[in-house]
Structure 1
Amino acid sequence: MPLPPGKPGREAAEVIHGVTVSDPFRHFEAGAEPAVRSWVAEQNRRTRELLGASSRRAELANRLQELLSLGALGRSLMRGEQRFFTRRDAGQDQASLYVMGGSGVERCLVDPAPLTADHTSSLDWWAPSEDGSLICFGVSEGGSEDSTLHLLETAGGRWLPDSIPHCKLAAVSFEPGSAALLYTRYPAPGSVAAGEEQYHRHVWRHVLGTAAEQDVRVFGESLAATDYPDSISISADGRWTVIEVQQGWDHNQVFLRDGGGDFLPIFGDLPHRLHAWFEGNRLVGLTNLAAPNYRLVDIDPEQPNLESWQELVAESEHVLLEAAFARSTLILHHLVDATSRLSLHRPDGAWERELALPDFSTVSGLGAHNSSFGVPITVEGFLSPPRVIEAASGHLLAELPTPLLEYPVRQEWLRSADGTRFPVFLIGRLSDRGQVLLTGYGGFNVSRTPQWWPSVVPFLESGGLVVAATLRGGGEFGEAWHRAGRLEQKQNVFDDFIAAAEWLISQGLCSPSELGIMGGSNGGLLVGAAMTQRPDLFGAVVCRVPLLDMVRYERFRVARLWAAEYGSASDPEQFRWLHAYSPYHHVSEGVQYPAALFFTAAEDSRVDPMHALKMTGRLQSVGAQAWLRVEERAGHGQGKPVSKLVKEEADVWTFLALKLRCPAAAPAAE
């Protein structure tokens, strides 16, 4: 029989590095067990009962359907006069891949949704050949991200017979002539020890028209299981190949091969990063070596030692996020106070001019290629859906229907517990007390910048205020900012978030009962830590696909990859950091916790659902208001069809409306 809400699980405890660690819901780690599945079904029913009884849910679902049906625009990539791009139109469940030639006529190349009856097949990644004649792409289903690699001919849209499984988030590079390619894939089940299938990512060579079984591994056998080749680039003449291997989020290794020889290391064993790629036969690199905010360098493949690098663009006070070369132009993407700035340069790095962008906007796609003069950029903001413009001319290439959303957006700088200054974006009303949603991420060197978030619109329309905090651990202010929020410094991220909550309350913008918080993945850890460290500050918590048991997180899915960011409980000192903030281990009797809704997905290949299950059980066992929603045929969030998104977002905002007591309607901001 499943455990009813509010009853403790089977007590489990162990001594780790001299500390007794309680784990009463460990049996929820066995998610396939009938008793656990039965408990989850009961939790889903209970959550459905709560949210389905709300009179606002239908209204919210209808408005969210309108907003999400506006569609979506992804990045564009140029190959000569051809522009490849993804778009989801109104009425579509998934984004499709298109091509547009110099004539201005577009064609759909891949529409993944019809490949499965429930429209959970999604286009995970794609890469054109250098001349644009072929496309290599990955399709997965059910949110699993376990892509199968496919190929098609651009001219006629014909799918080639090639099909290679286990190519999750593959890196791909075509050889000159496009008769073969290098790509990354994971081991097939049974070829490695059980549980190791999501590690041991290696580089293989595939000759088009041959079976995957004939592919040859060209790189990776000597790597550690958690080393992660994530970029492959081949020079235009085919002589040189460069491969990057990630070993965490603060350092990597780079290997270079001359012809058919061995891959030799040219960068590594340093607490720094180098992203290296070929522009034609020219090897360039973006690095934070001797430049925490990054610089752009030329690397001679014949003499790739660090001392021979030539600096193209020096480090500035702002983070250099991307660099891309067109036929006669270099375009740089910097972050200035967590918003995008673009500048045009000559190929030798000499400055030409800055490009005008709207205030508080993000360049989410930069599509230059050395075969094309055109540079399509995708730009979006909190209240502006993505649109594609030509960088040099400002000419509009593509846009979505844009709702009239005239809410103010502003940025404030706050101080954390240790005095560190950090910014927050505020979207919505300028003053008056009312409901507020605070969100953040703070980790893995990820830069969280202004992006179109259609599902917050009904909250704004009801008079709510949305606040996006820029927290340490991200990449918005360079490597020093990232390192200030990882490993033993992780508490800084939570302190920043808590300081933002305290500021909102002190400014009279909300009371604690009117303040909701939301985060997903590493952001789910963030809100889990915030609610257990300062439960008095919040009225409601939405915690999505979260990490919450930080003592045992490494044991599940791909989480060993994250030890470089969080630390490992196998190490006594790192265990001390992790146990000190692990949300699951800091739920206590007699504490008034805010109402919490935990979202997870059965097919999540990144974060195991056990985190949400264990946290829900533990909170319920101490009498807290906790609800669980487990989605079948869904994963970490990628590839979720609109039909599922509308239901999920309707549940999110219905829960916040119930627990923050949002008014039914309010006039739009002036």
Structure 2
Amino acid sequence: MPRTLKVVTIPPPPATPRSDVVDIVHGERITDPYRWLEDDRSDRVKDWTDRQNARTRAALDRLPERRFLAARLRELLSVGLLSTPRPIAGRIFHTRREGEQKQAVLYVRDGVSDPDRALVDPNALDPAGLTTLDWYYPSQDARYVAYGLSHGGDELSTLRVIEVATGRDAGERISHTQRSTVAWVEGGFYYSFHPAPGAVPAGDENYHRRVAFHRLGADPARDLVVFGEDRAKEDINTVVVSPDGRWVLFSAWIGWVRTDVYLHDREHPERGLVTVMEGEDAVADGAPDRGRIWLRTNLDAPNYRIVSAPCERPGMDAWETVIAEGEHVIEGFDTTRERLAVLRLAGATSRLATYDRTGREQREIALPSLGAIELVQGDADADLVGYTFQTFTQPPIAFIANVRTGESTELVRLRAPDGLDPSRITVEQTTYRSHDRTEVTMFLVHRSDVRPTGDVPTLLTGYGGFNVSRTPLYSAGAAAWVESGGLFALPNLRGGGEYGERWHRAGMLGNKQNVFEDFHRAAETLVANGWTEARRLAISGGSNGGLLVGAALTQRPELFAAVVCAVPLLDMLRYQNFRIARFWIPEYGSAEDPEQMRWLRAYSPYHNVRPGTRYPPVLFTTAEGDTRVDPMHARKMAALLQAQEDPNAIVLLRVDRDAGHGIGKPLDKQVEDFADQYAFLASLTGLAVNETAMLARR
């Protein structure tokens, strides 16, 4: 019987030979039938990928839902992107993408009420839209900006410098600065970088992150490495400098659970590095300012506290708690001239307040509604702090707040998409019990006229890892789903940061199964509470969320009608051998360790596909330019599921070219990718995607 996706007959999958490589891992025989699909440089894999893409296009392009969704998603995505504004030395910087722009542009204005001026425009540099602005760092006097550009979504940035007043390119070019941090001082800057290919063993150029100092106009090849040479290759080394340029703070991140922090006095280099925190099972982040070091830390405070100490004596024995740990997680903070701006999470929604530098005189900054702020950026020499606010249905709005008065001024508001009426959308937050009776919160988003009939097409998504908090951020896909009459559900799974470090650790390493159980129980709760049923329930997730839905697919296949598994990790016994994945060993563990191999083997989706099991239809998506998660995960898992004996199984693989993990993906590619994903899910859950739904232009 031919496979069909709604009214579309799907061609059979291309032939995929088995190689059945066998590894003996800590005494256990592990068979890997599709090891050959790891070699993405081989013509054999490229040809196989082309045939998979052709098959996927034959299926998805003919879905009637796709045309409507592509048009609507273009409207919803065209509102753009907006970063947190950075006030510094009287100027304000932010990035923004609007309308049909393919990439975000860096803007600067000379004051809160002054007009924006485009400073770095990747669209002008590359009309194809494949060049991305990855990051930027203004100098302390706002005279220069260091920024990183990459191509095709690979995030392999080249550092450049531009003069703010004139827009003149300063001629600096420093390669291998992916995900860099830059800290300016008079005449130059510190920056983090990776080694050039060939300078270290093959593959290790993804690691060995170091910090060097560059003087403007000098040859980067002669830059002096100042931090990280003696650190483990997996450490993520960063740098920040006090506004006066005297004190340099170096941090070495060991995964997302530990940091070692050191301080350097540029006026007394003979003192060397002074230890701020080292060897503790905790993290700390912050900066030196006005002769003191300011840190947010979860040391002895799972919900975080803010501490301070004199730069002359920055060690833990001198720390003073300025903002004590409380009921709500301190998500971030920054300093201004006289006050601290502190961002908290309460029930996975944001609260913003300011304090004087002793932790007193609390002043709340009023927010438009319940929603999300990702971070705050303060001007250390003024009274201004920048933040961006958004909700599931409200695109981001950038504000500048005066921390003395608590008053906020709207800086930039992205245009609301035509036809999206937030007053007709209901956002609820419910609580359910997981398998071990732990209470988990979950956002439910739906049209106000949609009721729990037991038959609502539902999309459940999640993340659950790396201390990442899932908050009410604007989502074009969620908006398209909800306005068509569906239910969008987002649980705050363990492994995330919504409820502090205990919550994070309850979903990492040997506790990772808790994340999957939280997700399964979320699905069961949606059914039990009368919202939906298995044949109407879809799941989607990307990256670590791709691992999440991959585990759900293999552990509870009967619960779901359809799965979208994007840029996923799926072979958890070999993941650490590819791209930058060794950075993630503190979060997941590694099969190199016998105990860790045991729990990874227990949930690794690629190793838990069971012959004779009926799996729900699944669309795997990945990208050849992904420098984070190797596409081999999606290729191997797709091949394994396509080889199962179920004649009605639907397993599609979509592999993007000139794209990466998702960061910097141009608008056109976003529309095509999301249209494929949501059309696939809508067709299998019965979501009514047509002009009679809310997708029609109003």
Is the TM value for this pair above 0.5?
Answer: yes
Equivalent positions of 1:435-474 (< 5 A) are 435-474=457-496
Q: Does 1:247 align with 2:269?
A: no
Q: Does 1:27 align with 2:36?
A: yes
The CA distance in 1 between the partners of 2:195 and 2:573, in whole Å, is: 28
Matching residue of 2:3: none
Matching residue of 2:549: 527
Matching residue of 1:66: 75
The offset of 1:258, in angstroms, is 2.4
The offset of 1:235, in angstroms, is 2.8
The offset of 1:81, in angstroms, is 2.2
Matching residue of 1:639: 664
The CA distance in 1 between the partners of 2:232 and 2:182, in whole Å, is: 21
Matching residue of 2:538: 516
Per-residue displacement from partner, 1:421-471 (whole Å, max 9, x unpaired)?
Answer: 010000003422210000000001111111000122221122111001100
The offset of 1:573, in angstroms, is 0.7
Q: Does 1:480 align with 2:502?
A: yes
Equivalent positions of 1:314-463 (< 5 A) are 314-391=324-401, 392-403=406-417, 404-405=421-422, 406-428=424-446, 429-432=450-453, 433-463=455-485
Equivalent positions of 1:11-410 (< 5 A) are 11-102=20-111, 104-175=114-185, 177=186, 179-230=187-238, 232-259=239-266, 260-261=269-270, 262-391=272-401, 392-403=406-417, 404-405=421-422, 406-410=424-428
SS across alignment from 1:501: helix
CA contact (8 A) 1:236 1:281 kept: no
Per-residue displacement from partner, 1:310-369 (whole Å, max 9, x unpaired)?
Answer: 111111011111111222332110100111011121122113222222443001242211
Per-residue displacement from partner, 1:248-283 (whole Å, max 9, x unpaired)?
Answer: 111110011223242233212111111131124321
The CA distance in 2 between the partners of 1:188 and 1:7, in whole Å, is: 36
The offset of 1:117, in angstroms, is 4.5
Aligned-CA RMSD value: 1.6
The CA distance in 2 between the partners of 1:206 and 1:131, in whole Å, is: 17
The CA distance in 2 between the partners of 1:249 and 1:270, in whole Å, is: 13
CA contact (8 A) 1:6 1:620 kept: no
1:497 to 519, 535, 546: 519
Equivalent positions of 1:542-553 (< 5 A) are 542-553=564-575
Bigger CA drift: 91-100 or 12-21? 12-21
Bigger CA drift: 114-123 or 135-144? 114-123
Which ranges in structure 1 are unaligned for 5 or more consecutive residues?
none
CA contact (8 A) 1:426 1:465 kept: yes
The CA distance in 2 between the partners of 1:430 and 1:304, in whole Å, is: 57
Which ranges in structure 2 are unaligned for 5 or more consecutive residues?
1-11
Q: What's the TM-score, normalizing by structure 2?
A: 0.93
The offset of 1:4, in angstroms, is 4.6
The offset of 1:113, in angstroms, is 2.5
Per-residue displacement from partner, 1:25-81 (whole Å, max 9, x unpaired)?
Answer: 111011121111111111100000001111221221111111111222111000132
SS across alignment from 1:161: coil
The offset of 1:229, in angstroms, is 0.5
The CA distance in 2 between the partners of 1:266 and 1:393, in whole Å, is: 35
The CA distance in 1 between the partners of 2:245 and 2:87, in whole Å, is: 21
Bigger CA drift: 468-477 or 397-406? 397-406
Per-residue displacement from partner, 1:171-214 (whole Å, max 9, x unpaired)?
Answer: 11011x3x110000100111111111000010011000122112
**1:78–1:237 Cα change, 3 Å:** closer
Per-residue displacement from partner, 1:481-503 (whole Å, max 9, x unpaired)?
Answer: 00000000000000000000001
Matching residue of 1:657: 682
Letter paired with 1:559: A
**1:463–1:206 Cα change, 3 Å:** same
Per-residue displacement from partner, 1:551-605 (whole Å, max 9, x unpaired)?
Answer: 1101101111111100110111100000000001111111110100000000100
Question: Where does structure 1 differ by over 6 angstroms across 4 or more consecutive aligned residues?
Answer: none
CA contact (8 A) 1:219 1:263 kept: no
Letter paired with 2:61: G
The CA distance in 1 between the partners of 2:429 and 2:261, in whole Å, is: 38
The CA distance in 2 between the partners of 1:213 and 1:667, in whole Å, is: 59
The CA distance in 1 between the partners of 2:459 and 2:674, in whole Å, is: 14
The CA distance in 2 between the partners of 1:273 and 1:63, in whole Å, is: 42
Bigger CA drift: 312-321 or 360-369? 360-369
The offset of 1:11, in angstroms, is 1.7
Q: What's the TM-score, normalizing by structure 1?
A: 0.97
